[in-house]
Every structure is written in C-alpha cells, then in structure tokens.
Structure 1
Amino acid sequence: MIRFYKSQDGLFSTDIQGKNCWISAVSPNQEETRYLLEELQIPEAFYNDIADIDERPRIEIENGWVLIILRVPFKTNDAKLPYNTAPIGLMFKDDVFVSLCFQDCELLEDFVIYTQRKKAGINDSFDLVLKLLLSSSIWFLKYLKQINLLIKAAEDNLEKSIRNEDLQQLLQIEKCLVYFITSLKGNDVLFHRIKNLKNFKETYNPELLEDVGIELRQAEETTNIYSNILTGMMDAYASVISNNLNVIMKRLTSISIILMIPTVVASFYGMNVPNNLENNSFGLWIVLAVSIAISGIGVFLFKKKNLF
C-alpha cells in the first residue's frame, strides 16, 4: 500500500504525488513495486536490500539517491516470538522522499498522527529521517514496557508451577530482547554517521539531534537492563528446577532404601533352609514385627538427617 503525505503543520494524507511529498510504501504489491522502480526510478538494489529482513542499518548513495536503512520494532502474530524488528528504507533524491517497509508496523501511522497533533512540520529529508529515527526509539521503549509485563507474568507462573513451557516463554522473550539490542546498536551507529555528515550537519536541528541521542541511549540501556534481569531470572529458576529435582531424587532414594529393608528381612526368612521359625505359629508376625521395627529405625534416622 502506498500513501502520499504533505507537510502542512503536520503530515496530512493526499491523493496525488506532489513536490516535497513523502511517499510511504508498506508491503507494496506488484503494481506499486512497478511504480517505485519504473516511475520513481528507485535503484532496484535499494529495493532488494530493504526486502531482506536481516538488513543492517546503514547509509548509501547511488545515482543521486540517498538510502538510509534503519530498523524499527513491530508486534507479530507469532506466540513464539511476539516482538521483532524489520528494516525500513528511507530513500530521497531532490524533492522525492520515499519510505519502504515490508512489515506492517504501528510506527508510521502513529508518527503521522503525532505530527498532526503537535503541528510539527518537516523541514527537509534529513529532518524527516531524524524524526522517524526518534519515533522508532520511542516505539522500542513502548514495546519494552509490554515485554516487561510479559516477564512479570511469566515470573508469576514460575512461582506457582515450574514447567518447561514457562521457561520457554522466558526464552522467547529473551530472543525478542536480543533482536532489540542488535537493532538499537545498529540504529545508534547509523545516527552517529548521519550526525557527522559534513555536507548536511550544519542544517540539522540541534535540539532534535539531542532528543534522538537521548531516546536511543535510553532504549539501549533499558533493553540491556531487561536482558540482564531476564538472564539472571532464567539462571535462578534453572537452579531452582535442578535443586527441586535433587530433592525429589533424594526422597525417592530414601523411600527405596526403607522399602528394601523388609524385602531383605523377608528374603532371609523365606529361604528354604531351617531358621527356627518354620514351625512357629507366630513366625509370620515375628518377621513382620522385625521388618517394621528396622524400617521404623531407618525412617527415624533419615528424618534426623533431613533426608525425608
């Protein structure tokens, strides 16, 4: 889907392409792809790079086109990986600015609504790039808050019953955080490269640069904190599971030893040899009493040693 936005104290949707218009393409179909490649003459190499889900943040210039790829977070429908990141390509040349993303994400629509609410206009292409980079950092933080709620829910489940499914849920959240950390580091490197471009650094809004840097650092630090907490939590619960298994094995071993005592006594008196009890009418009860007495002594000793 392709949408056209015009900057007038905020970004507003328009039906036709105009001068200094932002062309937002999300998961384009065949006809829209033809429009991007043939009419706008976007380099096909740029299009293919953005289509790669693993493409790293970078800046590249070809045939007068500037390509900036940054990674943005999005919420998936996959229960095994609830959050992920995807590349979004920002391409501009002269008065044409195109954004291309192959994943539906809340960021773009929210960004447009935000500019309308704040009546924030767009000065130039790099101004839009920096504001989108700022918006991506804010969305990283929003999703991190939701991930934190998932961590707390998984922790509550683990306190009630330690199952493999609960630990796997923590592992899935950890994978999301790994993707976040990698993407944020790439965006941070990209931000510093944009910030240091000699031909454009004089035109940047210093307050905007400061805001982008602060939000990027906050998102990185928050992600690292959550990742460290989650790693420590998984190690702790892995130790708890191992300890519980040891306790269970200890109890089972103690029970096996106690049950073995009457078995040994019965084995001795069950042999087909004289044992002075074969003609005794109370022989069975004597054997039972001896077995119970020795087993009772064993239970008492195990209890004293805290083996039960």
Structure 2
Amino acid sequence: MMKNKKNYYKKKQQPPGTLVYTGDQSDDSQELHLITYNKDKIVHKKIKTIDEFINEENLGIKWLDVIGLANVHSIEEIGQKLKIHRLILEDILNTRQRAKLEDYDDSLFLVIKKLSLLEGIEIDAKQISIIIKENMVITFQEYDEDAFKLIKKRLEEGAHVRALGADDLTYAIVDSIVDGYFDVMEILSEEIDKTENELMDDPKKEILNRIYSLKRQIVFFRNTVWPVRDIANTLSRGEIKLIDQKTSYYFRDVYDHSIQVIELIETYRDTISGMMDIYLSSISSKTNEVMKILTIFSAIFIPLTFLAGVYGMNFIYFPELKWRYGYLGFWIVSILITAAMIKYLKSKKWL
C-alpha cells in the first residue's frame, strides 16, 4: 500500500496525459490475449505483440485482454496503434482511479473495480479498465486472476453468445464483476452475524477491534460500489451510441443489482453502528456494576469505619475500654449495623 502511494505521488505536478503507473506490480511482465469470434467460430490465443492483434483477421468481434500494466512503454504502444486517447491511457495506468464512465467520439471508456476478500475480512480491489470500440473490446488489468474466465468459457461453448456484439461482451464483463460483489457481501454478512453473536455473549476488547475493521471494510465497499450504480444507470438509458438499445435493457439489471448491493451495505453499516452502541453500552453497564458494588461496600463500611475511628483515639477516659464485654459489644454492634445496612439496600433493590 505504501509503495502504491509513493508511485501515485509521481503524478503530482505532471501535465494531463502523462503516463505514470501508480500500481504495485513488482515487474514489467505483460501478457496479451487475443480473442476473435463470430457465431460459427472463435479464436483464442496468447500473442506477443500488439501487431499480431492488429493483423489478426476479425471474425466479427475482437477482444484484446492486456494483463500487466507496469510496462508503460508497451501500454503507450498499444494506445498509439489502437488509437486510444492519451487521457484514457493515463487513467488505465492510474490504478487508484475511481470507477467511472467516459464517452469519447469513437470509443467508450469504463473503469470498474473487481472485489475479493483476502485473509480475514480485508477487501481487495483490482481495477479493470474497459475500452469499447466498433466491434472491438480492450480490457486492461494488473494481474491474471481469472477475472474473465467464466466469460471466455461461455464464448467458447455457446454459439448464441458469440452472435452478440461488443456491447454485449461489455455487459457480460460488468455483470460478472457486479455479481462478484454479492459474494463479498455474503462473506461479510456471515462475519457480521458471527461478531454480533459473540458480542451478545461476551463483549471483549477483541470484538471492538473486529467491529472497527468491519466498519472500515463496509465504508470502502460503499465507496467502491456507489459510482458503479451511476455507471449502470447511464448505460441503461440507451443514450450512448456504442451501446445498442437492446443491450441497454440488460444494463438495467446491472443497475438493479448495484442498488441491491448498496442497500445491503447501508443495512450492514447500520448494524455495525448498532453493534458499536451495544458494545459501549455493555462496557458502561459493566463499569456501573463495578461502581455499584464498590459503593455498596463503601456504604456498609462507613459506619464501621466511624466506630473503629472513635475507639482508636488515644483518650484516657473511655468507659468501654475497661468493660469486660467491650470487645464483644463492638462486634455485635458492627454486625447489627452491617445487617441493617444490607436489609436497607435490599429494600431499595440496590443489592
């Protein structure tokens, strides 16, 4: 994370269009995957240069999947040969980019975050950049995490899927990423329920740390998903020329899913806030209980302390000091006072 921030600072005071990689990929390795298909045929292969992609026969739809962003020179070359706007390339290399949608003259640029859970409940966000051109889709991602494995499998197995256009492929990519949000939400939901049950049983300090961690992840989740709702809403209106009217209807489904995720996030955020209140109330209740016990002991021992103080004075003339039953009398009086105090406290339901 610190390395990512350090790279991001390189962009400061740079003119627009300056290509600076802000991610944390340790080497400049890169893979290019070419997929071209129509209803009857599909070609899927790994290529070495962008020229191979350009020279490959377009069967109907061409998809270039670029894995690895650290090689800025290679990204710049891809941009030049595929006529990608330099501002788009700048956003692709900025892996801290917020999810967004930009409509250019001959292309549509989309940034979206693919979410997964690391060990525990830490959410990991990987940026997916998508460029849609006429009969062409170009995707960029930092690491090969099988983000499009299911989509590629559907293309290879289903002729009816291959009959669809570049906008449909874009929909499939966005839909699969948004569906992945539900998987993350399900795991977070289980963790929230588990934490809530433990909180009710025994509100320990470790529970508070977990609540804070859940709160941070929910806030991060919300900030990631919120702009996706606006993206899906824009794509569902049918106002973008590269998105067919029929495809825009499907984006309404993505919009509905994003709304559902946001509503769940808001619900869980309220739940976590309630858990925080319960924890603080439990701690306050325990503190009050301790103070109550200490106060009761103090109330009982105040008259006993008074008696002990009186008979502990160094005056010569103390009639009871020479009384044969003085010591016994002191304890009888002390016990009676203690019993009276306990009875009084019980009558007030303080004990």
Decide: shared fold, TM above 0.5: yes
From the superposition, tell whether residues 167 and 12 of structure 1 become closer, same or farther in structure 2 (CA, over 3 Å). farther
1:97 aligns with 2:137: yes
CA distance in 1, matches of 2:348, 2:85: 77
Higher relative contact order (CA 8 A, sep 6+): 1
| 8 Å Cα contact 2:106/2:133 also seen in 1 | yes
CA distance in 1, matches of 2:144, 2:343: 67
For 1:15, the aligned partner's letter is K
Matching residue of 1:287 = 330
Q: Say which of 16, 30, 33 aligns to 1:4.
A: 33
Matching residue of 1:262 = 304
Residue 166 (structure 1) shift: 0.6
Matching residue of 1:303 = 346
For 2:326, the aligned partner's letter is G
Matches within 5 A, 1:141-180: 141-180=182-221
CA distance in 2, matches of 1:43, 1:260: 84
Matching residue of 1:228 = 270
CA distance in 2, matches of 1:227, 1:103: 31
CA distance in 2, matches of 1:206, 1:93: 16
Matching residue of 2:279 = 237
CA distance in 2, matches of 1:27, 1:277: 95
1:191 aligns with 2:191: no
CA RMSD of aligned residues (A): 3.1
Q: Any runs of at least 4 consecutive aligned residues in structure 1 with deviations exceeding 6 A, and if so which?
A: 9-12
Residue 63 (structure 1) shift: 8.5
Residue 60 (structure 1) shift: 2.8
From the superposition, tell whether residues 278 and 292 of structure 1 become closer, same or farther in structure 2 (CA, over 3 Å). same
- Ranges in structure 1 where 5+ consecutive residues have no aligned partner: none
Residue 73 (structure 1) shift: 1.6
Residue 26 (structure 1) shift: 4.2
CA distance in 2, matches of 1:135, 1:208: 13
For 1:6, the aligned partner's letter is I
1:87 aligns with 2:127: yes
Matching residue of 2:77 = 38
1:129 aligns with 2:158: no
Matches within 5 A, 1:65-76: 66-76=108-118
Residue 139 (structure 1) shift: 0.8
CA shift digits 1:106-155 (9 cap, x unpaired): 64334444555666337343322222221122111111111111011111
TM-score, reference length from structure 1? 0.83
CA distance in 1, matches of 2:215, 2:180: 18
CA distance in 2, matches of 1:247, 1:297: 22
CA distance in 2, matches of 1:135, 1:90: 14
From the superposition, tell whether residues 264 and 202 of structure 1 become closer, same or farther in structure 2 (CA, over 3 Å). same
From the superposition, tell whether residues 47 and 289 of structure 1 become closer, same or farther in structure 2 (CA, over 3 Å). farther
Q: Say which of 32, 39, 45 aligns to 1:14.
A: 45
TM-score, reference length from structure 2? 0.74
* SS across alignment from 2:101: strand
| 8 Å Cα contact 1:65/1:92 also seen in 2 | yes
For 1:83, the aligned partner's letter is I
Matching residue of 2:288 = 246
Number of residues of Structure 1 aligned to a counterpart in Structure 2: 304
| 8 Å Cα contact 2:236/2:252 also seen in 1 | no
CA distance in 2, matches of 1:179, 1:249: 40
CA shift digits 1:201-247 (9 cap, x unpaired): 44542552332233222222222222223323332333233223222
| 8 Å Cα contact 1:72/1:88 also seen in 2 | yes
| 8 Å Cα contact 1:87/1:101 also seen in 2 | yes
| 8 Å Cα contact 1:3/1:13 also seen in 2 | no
From the superposition, tell whether residues 270 and 50 of structure 1 become closer, same or farther in structure 2 (CA, over 3 Å). farther
| 8 Å Cα contact 1:72/1:136 also seen in 2 | yes
CA distance in 2, matches of 1:158, 1:106: 37
* SS across alignment from 2:148: helix
From the superposition, tell whether residues 293 and 135 of structure 1 become closer, same or farther in structure 2 (CA, over 3 Å). same
CA distance in 1, matches of 2:253, 2:113: 18
Matching residue of 2:256 = 214
